[in-house]
Amino acid sequence: MPRSKDTAAAAHTESGGKKKGKGGKKRAVEEEEEEVPGDMPERDEEAEAAGQRRKEKKQKKKKEPEPEEEEDAEEEDDEVDEGTAEERAKAKLRRQRLHKKISGYRNVAKACGFNKKGGVIAASGIDSHASFLTDADAKRLMRFVPEVLNKSSYDKEECQERMKLSTESVPGSAARETQAQCQAVMRHIMNQATLRTVEKGAMRIDAATMYAVIRPYQYGMTFSGALPPKGLIRHAQNEGKLSSTTADEAAMDAEKTENNELVASQKKIDKAEEARKAAFIKRRSELAAARIAAA
């Protein structure tokens, strides 16, 4: 019996010791987890640097407004703040339309080879990727005639010549020749105007700078393309922007008679053009009917 009691006591003591040992082991693991920082992931400086570079690269890809547009917007905002709410709304809409138009022109320029990020050659558009004039644009340039003939757009002789030229048919070969020649001249004019604008410290090309560039070409032109049209001068005089003399007033009276003659001539041209189109449609219908009958 005493042996059995000693055996039971020993077993009890052994089992209690085991339980206490398990609890001690658990607490030891918890203490190791709290005290040992090596189990936590270490800071990877190289990965953080790579992530920062990717973030900066994404920010660079975002489209940012041009500095000149920001300055113009600030100037316009300063002016608009002084007006009423309706005036501010109209000015804001006008500014948005202007920026949208400028953005469209900038996209066309990039498509045609003007890229300021590619160096001097690319910024000047010498390495042209595409033509900014289409065949239809070239034909319109060759057949241009002012639509408003009662406001002294051009001289009577020049306007009549333009009206006759507008009735001529332009083949594709002639349009392509005009397209190539005009594109080279227009690129040169744009580069010269941009250079002069940068030299004088301005942000946008104005009419005076463009006029200074194209003025040397006026001596080799058949039509007036560099000097301001007579109708524009008359409009400025009527609005009080330019002064007028008695000779100018007498010329205005004579120009009214010339304008009436030009309007009458244009009506005759329009009537003849409508008759030509009607005859063309009729002839096409007759040929189509003949093909159907032959089939």
Q: How many Å apart are CA 140 and CA 175, to the nearest integer?
A: 9
**Length, in residues, of the chain:** 295
Q: How many Å apart are CA 73 and CA 239, to the nearest integer?
A: 28
Tokens coding 96: 């948005």
Confidence at 284, pLDDT banded by 50, 70, 90 = very high
Whether the CB-CB separation of 230 and 159 falls below 8 Å is answered with no
Map out the domains of the chain as residue ranges.
79-111, 120-294
* Number of CB atoms found within 10 A of residue 213's CB: 19
Q: How many Å apart are CA 175 and CA 198, to the nearest integer?
A: 34
Average pLDDT over residues 171-185: 89
- Tell me which of 226 and 14 has the higher pLDDT: 226
**Type of residue numbered 36:** V
Q: How many Å apart are CA 34 and CA 201, to the nearest integer?
A: 66
Model pLDDT, residue 48:
78
pLDDT in tens, 56-97: 776 766 555 444 444 444 444 444 456 788 888 889 899 989
Tokens coding 73: 């917007």
